[in-house]
Amino acid sequence: MMVSFSVAMTFIFGGVSVGGVASGVVWVFGALAFIFDLAEEIAGGVMDLEGDEQRSARSLVRVKGKTFALRVSCSLFALFVGLSFLPFLFGWLGTIYLILLITTDSGVVYFVYRLLTSGTVQEGRTRIRQLYLTMVLFVIAFIASRFF
- Tally of domains within the chain: 1
pLDDT of residue 48: 82
For residue range 76-102, list pLDDT tens digits in order.
Answer: 999 999 999 999 999 988 888 898 889
Q: Residue 73 class from Cβ within 10 Å (0-12 exposed, 13-18 middle, 19+ buried)?
A: buried
pTM, two decimal places? 0.88
Distance (Å, whole) CA 110 – CA 115: 9
Helix runs in 48-120, H state only: 49-55, 60-64, 66-83, 86-89, 95-116
d(CA 140, CA 126): 21
**Cα maximum dimension of the chain:** 50
Task: Indicate which CATH number applies to the domain containing 133.
Answer: 1.20.120.1780
Q: Span 12-31, mean pLDDT?
A: 84
Q: Which domain holds residue 81?
A: 2-147
Say what the pLDDT of residue 53 is. 73
Choose between 21 and 11: higher pLDDT: 11
